[in-house]
Amino acid sequence: MERYRIGLIPGPVRIPEEIKRIWLNDYASPDIEDEFFTLYHEDQILIRRLLNTKNDIIITLGEAMSVLWAALKSTLKQGDRMLAVSSGLFGDGFAEMSRAFGVNAEVCSFPYDEIPDPEKVREHALKFRPKVITAVHCETPSGTLTTCLHEIGKIAREVDALFVVDFVSSAGGAFLDVDYYNIDIGLLGSQKVLSLPPSLSISSISERAWEIIEKVKYSGYEAYSGWKNVPSEHLTPYTHDWNAVKALNISLNMILSEGLENVFKRHENTAKLCRSLGREIGLKLYPKSEDICSPTVTAFYVPEKFTWPEFDSRLREKGLAVGGNYGILSGKVFRIGHMGSQADCELISEAMNIIRELC
Ligand SMILES: *Cc1c(COP(=O)(O)O)cnc(C)c1O
């Protein structure tokens, strides 16, 4: 199936032509060519700029879920305590994934249409004393942005826990400062703001995190060990994907040459337009207030006169594809993904005109 005429799925997003063309190249073996490791190292430096960090950056195969697993399995063992700060499906997911391998996980839980309250997180963390605290920057299913990562990061330091953050659908589209927020492990995928196929995952890893990783000694396909010294040792734990690493380089250069501030503004403007046109049409925003809405994705309630499958198929008849939802939001809330290549006011206007005709 080809791309949608008006595609606003919140990932994978549309891949720009400059990036698509990379897959016409037939690269040599990334295992043995110095040129590959130079490119990998260049990507690491660009990602540090994107994330505002001096921490190590590793670039691995598999989309974002592979590094969510890597972060948990590389830092937690059976019986360890972890606290998942959650106001959404991905926040809850961290706890469920940890329990699956015997971790003692608790959830510091908030309604899905709100964001976490740091005071409650502090109370819970002081009582539970977790080894790892997880949080999610943009809860893509709810369309919210957790704006208090700095406060949660401080709490993690207070209780001497590692701070693991999923910024899969926000990094590059919303302000993020990994070092200021004290993020020990930051997680990113390629198919959201970076506008690449779902083939790469990226982690930022602090010295504190490496110390724990070296103690836990997890080994497995997605394990972090083996990735620490890739550019200097010229060795990766498995054969890398040269096309994808090159495409990542182009995507990062596109973002950084537009200027991070300008890219954030483009996302914010698109989100604002989406919310204001939605209000005009009579759509009801899912998040409780506008100030917690993510600049990368907007979640609205499905209009009352349609079921989600009806609404979806009517939109698709007109060439528009938006995102449905999962879990308790399934059938109730739909999402407009305006991240990366889709952070485009014209695209949003076109989409909203189609929705207007139906509502
Ligand atoms: C997209 C996304 C992921 C990765 O999940 P997939 O659905 O497998 O792409 C992880 N966390 C968040 C917040 C995401 O938006």
Residue 301 above 80 pLDDT? yes
How confident is residue 79, by pLDDT bands cut at 50, 70 and 90?
Answer: very high
Measure the CA–CA gap between 203 and 164, rounded to whole angstroms.
Answer: 10
CA of 64 to the centre of ligand 1 (A): 6
pLDDT of res. 282:
97
CA of 33 to the centre of ligand 1 (A): 32
CA of 129 to the centre of ligand 1 (A): 28
pLDDT of res. 15:
97
CB of 189 within 6 A of ligand 1: the answer is yes
The atom number, within ligand 1, closest to the CA of 141 reads 15
CB of 136 within 6 A of ligand 1: the answer is yes
Residue 3 above 90 pLDDT? no
List the one residue out of 128, 88, 90, 79 whose CA is nearest residue 106: 128
Average pLDDT over residues 227-235: 94
Residue 1 above 90 pLDDT? no
Residues 6 or more apart whose CB falls under 8 angstroms from that of 165 comprise 134, 135, 136, 137, 149, 181, 183, 185, 186, 187
Contact 308, 324 (CB under 8 A): yes
Mutate to test the pocket of ligand 1, among 13, 60, 65, 66 (most ligand atoms within 8 A of CB): 65
Mutate to test the pocket of ligand 1, among 85, 137, 138, 168 (most ligand atoms within 8 A of CB): 168
CB of 90 within 6 A of ligand 1: the answer is yes
Tell me the two tokens of residue 124. Answer: 């819970």
Helices 207-216/64-75 angle, 10° precision = 70
CA of 157 to the centre of ligand 1 (A): 26
Strand partners, 134: 84, 164
pLDDT of res. 97:
98
Residues 6 or more apart whose CB falls under 8 angstroms from that of 285 comprise 275, 278, 279, 293, 298, 299, 300, 301
CA of 215 to the centre of ligand 1 (A): 28
- Start-end of H helices in 224-259: 230-233, 242-258
Residue 2 above 80 pLDDT? no
Tell me the two tokens of residue 210. Answer: 């490496």
CA of 127 to the centre of ligand 1 (A): 30
Long-range contacts, stretch 156-161, CB < 8 angstroms, 24+ apart? 156/125, 156/182, 156/184, 157/182, 158/122, 158/125, 158/126, 159/125, 159/126, 159/129, 159/130, 159/133, 161/83, 161/125, 161/129, 161/130, 161/131, 161/132, 161/133
Mutate to test the pocket of ligand 1, among 87, 90, 136 (most ligand atoms within 8 A of CB): 90
Residues 6 or more apart whose CB falls under 8 angstroms from that of 106 comprise 81, 82, 83, 84, 95, 124, 128, 130
CA of 5 to the centre of ligand 1 (A): 23
List the one residue out of 186, 174, 191, 204 whose CA is nearest residue 251: 191
Average pLDDT over residues 87-95: 98
Measured between alpha carbons, how far apart are the two ends of the chain, in Å?
Answer: 28
Average pLDDT, the chain: 97
CB of 166 within 6 A of ligand 1: the answer is yes
How confident is residue 344, by pLDDT bands cut at 50, 70 and 90?
Answer: very high
Contact 115, 148 (CB under 8 A): yes
Average pLDDT over residues 179-205: 98
Average pLDDT over residues 215-231: 95
CB of 63 within 6 A of ligand 1: the answer is yes
103 three-state secondary structure: coil
Residue nearest (by alpha carbon) to ligand 1 atom 9 = 64
Percent of the chain scored above 70 by pLDDT? Answer: 100
Residue nearest (by alpha carbon) to ligand 1 atom 11 = 168
Q: Which amino acid is at 274?
A: C
Average pLDDT over residues 143-172: 98
CB of 171 within 6 A of ligand 1: the answer is no
Residues 6 or more apart whose CB falls under 8 angstroms from that of 199 comprise 61, 62, 63, 190, 191, 241, 244
Tell how strand 200-205 and strand 185-189 pair up. Answer: antiparallel
Average pLDDT over residues 77-101: 98
